[in-house]
Amino acid sequence: MRILFVGDVVGRSGRAVFTETVPNLIRDWKLDLVIVNGENSAGGFGITEAIYQELVDAGADAITLGNHSWDQREALVFIERAPRLIRPINFNQGTPGRGAALIDTRTSKRALVVNAIARIFMQSSDEPFAAVDRELNACRLGESADAIVVDIHGEASSEKQAMGYFCDGRASLVVGTHTHVPTADHRILPNGTAYMTDAGMSGDYESIIGMQRDEPIGRFLRGYPQSRFEPADGAGTLSGVAVQTDDITGLAIYIAPVRIGPILTPTSPPNWK
């Protein structure tokens, strides 16, 4: 199975590069499954139902969230009728929506997508490792699911790395989101799980993690906010990770970073043609 995971889509710039690029990648790379983190897609904060549908129409099979899940209050309602929208599994009990979903791929296989939020330097939530463990035990790779992808949305690289090794051998891919900076540590762990600490951001990289630069710089200089953060609106770069899995075991046999657009050095799977 060929899987593309796209890092946090930020604002209009991120949405534009996703909708313009992903349909071609699905065709050219013969992708089975596309997952995107969409928690910053609405002006940098949250997601709306219209944007959810825009990403799905462009080829997203699943959309994960994070600490900005409810910044657009309508998400608390429409998530119940949005089967491809997945919020962190370790949010408090009773939170609307789902933390995992079994997705039918383009080749009639089944992929489990799990979203978890880390705890170090993040908002209060239930412990993520136990929640992910329960899900992986209930839907086993190679038995109930042909592939399993875990999005660990967190600040600390150590916590995300711990989740990778915790899931090694039980998931096809564990990938971090949230910091908006792609890491260079993509690899396959000893027991066959593909891993990357952060998939990066899909948006305008002439920015400060997707936001126009003046206000973030001013806050560092002044020590207090003066205005709202506004998403940068220049040409977007799509960042993420591509993974190929074994058809029998569901474990990873190949991983490569994906960067398409200006600013960052472009890279893509060399053999996916």
Say yes or no to pLDDT of 192 above 80.
yes
The pTM is what? 0.97
Q: In the structure, what pLDDT confidence band is assigned to residue 25 with cuts at 50, 70 and 90?
A: very high
pLDDT of residue 271: 82
Does residue 178 have an active-site annotation? no
> Where residue 11 falls among pLDDT bands split at 50, 70, 90?
very high
The tens digit of pLDDT for each residue in 28-61 reads 999 999 999 999 999 999 999 999 999 999 999 9
Residue 31 has a pLDDT of 98
pLDDT at residue 273 greater than cutoff 90: no
Kindly report the number of other CB atoms within 10 A of residue 127's CB atom: 11
Provide the pLDDT for residue 272: 83
Residue 110: the pLDDT is 97
Question: CA-to-CA distance for 210 and 13, rounded, in angstroms?
Answer: 9
pLDDT digit string (tens) for 203-215? 999 999 999 999 9
Q: How confident is the model at residue 248 (pLDDT cuts 50, 70, 90)?
A: very high
Question: For residue 97, what pLDDT is reported?
Answer: 97
Give the pLDDT confidence score for residue 124 in this predicted structure.
83
Q: What is the pLDDT of residues 220-238, one digit of tens each?
A: 999 999 999 999 999 999 9
Dihedral (CA of 91, 82, 139, 153) sign: negative
Residue 21 scores a pLDDT above 80: yes
Region of 23 on the Ramachandran plot (φ > 0 left; ψ -120 to 50 alpha; else beta):
alpha
94-149 pLDDT, tens digit per residue, is 999 999 999 999 999 999 999 999 999 998 889 999 999 999 999 999 999 999 99
Domains of the chain: 2-260 (3.60.21.10)
pLDDT surpassing 90 at residue 82: yes
Question: pLDDT at position 123, please?
Answer: 83
